[in-house]
Amino acid sequence: MYMRSDPSMGLISKIQQHLPLSVHVSLSPQGQSLLCALLFSTLLWLSLILTLRFSLKLLLSYHRWMFETHTHMSHTTRVWGTLLRLLSSGKPLLYSYQTSLPHLPVPAIKDTLSRYLQSVRPLLSDLEYHRMTELASEFESSLGNRLQRYLKLKALWATNYVSDWWEEFIYLRSRGPIMVNSNYYGMDFLYVTPTSVQAARAGNTITALLLYRRKVNREELKPSRVPGTVIPLCAAQCERMFNTTRTPGIETDVLQHWQDSEFVGVYHKGRYFRLWVYHAGRLLTPREMEFQVQRILDDRSEPQPGEDRLGALTAGDRYDGGAGDKLPSCTWDSHNSIQTDVH
């Protein structure tokens, strides 16, 4: 307006021509120009973001670098690495690259059947392998092609066409024990021991986990990358790292996720305690955590009826071995949650 130049090459004027009549009446020519410039800059900003994400997605779809040694890179891979560094520079948030990661490709049905036959060959006799080859060819020409089309259709909108099936049928429908097979745990083992007081170590551990959870929620963690490269890895596993539990069911379990949790569970001598970690919206200090844990250690109350045996249900299979009936075991699954075990 003041420099008498139009960086939009006439687009702002075209936007101004298509403004509603009410806007023309209510705004002055100067106000109309400012509104059109704002609309143009917003559209330009969105276009640049989408172009950047699409370009990054195309670059991340290049896989030839996996099969080249570091000392004998092709010129194509070197140019690709340079462009990838330019587009992925800056200070990205934890989930910044999620929309730019390429979708998991669907393998060709011929390749899948070939790998399957190769894997079962040592397990079958010549006659059985010949029969299996005929079944594979029959499957490919009939049902296989139809299922392949469905799979490709799903891969168009799903970033990973197999992740939801894997979670349900391999993880949630598994009837094996939760302990060892699914649960993970953390220990405060360090080469430097600042204190031998059990309550203080527990307070430090709880505080460290909650501070890490805060970084996850605020996306302050740097995205994981392939070691030695700038290639980002998927960060979907961080979304339900905390505040998530697995509710048992007869045939399949259900994952429940909460946006926030204000307490942790503490197990001590057969008793479960709820330890609050916030006060008036403020995270408790390690010293305040230690004070609460110490009160639990000093508590001499007896467990409630059956409370000290709840842990045995987590260690068993999710069915009644005698009757053979599927039963939901009353487990407290610490998968993706915080649990402090004070002995």
What CATH number is attached to the domain comprising 313?
3.30.559.70
Q: Are residues 332 and 272 in the same domain?
A: yes
In a domain, 27, yes or no: yes
What's the count of helices (H) and strands (E) in the chain, helices before strands? 11, 7
By DSSP bridging, strand 278-279 and strand 244-247 are unpaired
Q: Are residues 326 and 196 in the same domain?
A: yes
Whole-number Å distance between alpha carbons of 207 and 203: 6
Domain ranges, residue 269: 175-341
Q: Are residues 145 and 244 in the same domain?
A: no
Q: Are residues 210 and 326 in the same domain?
A: yes
293-324 pLDDT per residue, tens? 999 999 999 999 999 888 777 777 876 444 44
- Predicted confidence at residue 326, as pLDDT, reads 45
Whole-number Å distance between alpha carbons of 41 and 311: 60
In a domain, 202, yes or no: yes
In a domain, 165, yes or no: no
Q: Are residues 58 and 142 in the same domain?
A: no
Whole-number Å distance between alpha carbons of 263 and 281: 12
In a domain, 103, yes or no: no
DSSP structure string for 133-183: HHHHHHHIIIIIHHHHHHHHHHHHH-SSTTHHHIIIIIIIT--S-STTTT-
Q: Are residues 37 and 122 in the same domain?
A: no
Q: Are residues 33 and 72 in the same domain?
A: yes
Helix (H) or strand (E) holding 272: strand 271-276
Whole-number Å distance between alpha carbons of 98 and 53: 10
Rg (CA), the chain: 29
In a domain, 267, yes or no: yes
User: Is 232 exposed, middle or buried (CB count within 10 Å of its CB: 0-12, 13-18, 19+)?
Assistant: buried
Query: Of 34, 56, 89, which one is at a domain's C-terminal end?
Result: 89
Task: Read off the tokens for 39.
Answer: 């609309």
Residue type, 24: H
Q: Are residues 128 and 254 in the same domain?
A: no
- Predicted confidence at residue 178, as pLDDT, reads 78
Q: Are residues 190 and 320 in the same domain?
A: yes
- Predicted confidence at residue 139, as pLDDT, reads 93
In a domain, 258, yes or no: yes
Q: What is the pTM of this model?
A: 0.75
In a domain, 254, yes or no: yes
Low-confidence stretches of the chain (pLDDT beneath 70):
1, 21-25, 189-190, 319-343
Q: Are residues 321 and 184 in the same domain?
A: yes
Q: Are residues 72 and 152 in the same domain?
A: no
In a domain, 166, yes or no: no
Q: Are residues 181 and 153 in the same domain?
A: no
Contact assessment for residue 60 and residue 231, using Cβ atoms and an 8 Å cutoff: yes
- What is the tally of structural domains in the chain? 3
